[in-house]
Structure 1
Amino acid sequence: MRLAVTLNNRYNQELCDQNQVHIIMSEQYKPDIWRLQVQWNVRGLVKALKHPSAGIRRRAAQSLQTLGATGAIGALQSALEAERDAAVREHIEAALRDLRQPAPASPSTPSPDAQIEAIIADLRSGDQARIIAAARQAADIRAMPAVETLVVVFNRSQTPLKARLAVAESLLTMASAPVEISLLGALRNPRWQIRYKSAAVLGQLRAEWAVEPLLRCLSDSQRVVRRAAYQALLKINTPQAQRGIETVRQRATRRKRGEAPAPDEPDEIKWPEHEHRTIHTAPTQPLDPATLGKSPHYRQNQEDKSKPQ
């Protein structure tokens, strides 16, 4: 009898210890809400609505609102019913109001708020032409409320490359560019040393969205910049980059042979007219390795390189 009581007490103690460990692990797990948002991970954000931390639940609701995740309305409603924190409830209610709101009819002369809402809607559409037009419009009117959506769209891997470049140009014009995008402005800096370093770092980041600007740098007045851009394109190695590299090789071969350039071959690759306004824009953040290490694309490339071939 005494042995049975001892064994039972020991079993109950083990159960308590296991439950305590589970509670501690649940409290220690803190999802990266910003990363979930830029990855468009709605499922992960919905899961974060049930996290023990009120701050994480609040930020998850804000991110779902920013993404316009109408598919998460049901989860937000369930979270609202179970939520006891007043501040978190306010953010969940605000997200639900925003997500349930029907798209307003476009007036003949849209108000500034309606214009920004239309820009954000186009940025979220996933359509390349709409994203490019919205990004340029955001830059033209300095639509600062759209900056967060622009960053999310830029970091989303499904965004077409031409659209990502347009979004990068927009953020650069509004002086709100993250470090990766600030490299685009550095490619146009009057100092060749900065242009050279920018091209080299874009190659290290495997910045597929920057192929067009790097192709233009192949006509740079400084040979070291041209070479850095060429090496960057080799590292990026997309079909567009490969075509540009092949064009440069053919041009070099023709010049060595003393042949005339092709009829459709320009002497230099010029920046498009709409990009002239940012031609001397300097980086908005320092281009140091510690900062670059925070780039999601840089981390992804490092992980890819570490995988066994």
Structure 2
Amino acid sequence: MSRLLRYLLGRLLWAIPVLLGASVVTFMIMQLTPGDPARFILGQRASQEAVMELRRELGLHQPIFVQYVDFVFHAAQGDFGQSLQTREEVTAMLLQRIPYTAQLSIAGLLIAVVVSFPVGVIGAVREGEAADHASRVGALLGISTPNFWLGLLLILVFAVPLEAFPIFGMTLVTEDPIAAVTSTLLPAIALGTAQAALLTRLLRGGMLDEMQEGYVRTARAYGIDNRETTYVYVLKNAVLPTITVIGLQLGALLGGAVIVEQVFGIPGIGRLAIQAIFNKDFPVIQGVTMLVAVTFVAANLLVDVLYAQLDPRIRLGGSER
């Protein structure tokens, strides 16, 4: 078995306790939340007998440990039960909304990467100049601007007067690619701006640190062109920690999508989660939380694979010196 395969298997095994921990936290938070779901569904005027009957039907009368084991057993098979409000299968509800959140998150991440890389590189190459100052001010504004406020501003400035962008809703790219671009652009900008600012600052700082390394001075001493040194060697080394943060930013994008989906009326996972919280729909909340946890773990595993490919020292584990 190769070192790379052993490395990836080790990372995959570590994902199991992470997901179990997420399931414990999610389940206990739901259990400790004030209010009885059965009473909430039937209303305050329902008799105690009716409430107890519904609790038995939903399995809420069982001990907490039994409920948790049952939850984990079914969740491992992709079964999160039924919604307490609509009695729909939670898995089916998630599958209906995943494409919208996935399209929004991927578009937001794409905007963040496309904007941050050239701006971060220019800021590092032209340190202290006007372009560097502009990139730093832009990054500061991007990090400081709440995505819900930016979303409302984009609607008022572009969607309302120009009528080129829809104010609410989103079209999937599988339905109509052109409509998908116009309906996704504004919410993706609102979602990806803060991530673009963070990646810009990280890439700029990484490149400035790499420019102080000895190999850069050696390359210049040997007469290697500064442009080649910067864009081939410095950028390659500085981009490694940025790749790690890009993977971690997926979790931030999913969290920001909750607000952005509300602002733009997108029927995604985030909007479903907010509705479930207001309705105390515990199975839906648990399903959404576990889906986010699995997505976060999968994204980090993908980052580990890319990191191991770009930096052989990671997969070798320092065993060869």
TM exceeding 0.5: no
Q: Name which one, 1 or 2, has greater alpha-carbon Rg.
A: 1
Name the structure where helix makes up a greater proportion of residues.
2
State the TM-score, normalized to the length of structure 1. Answer: 0.27
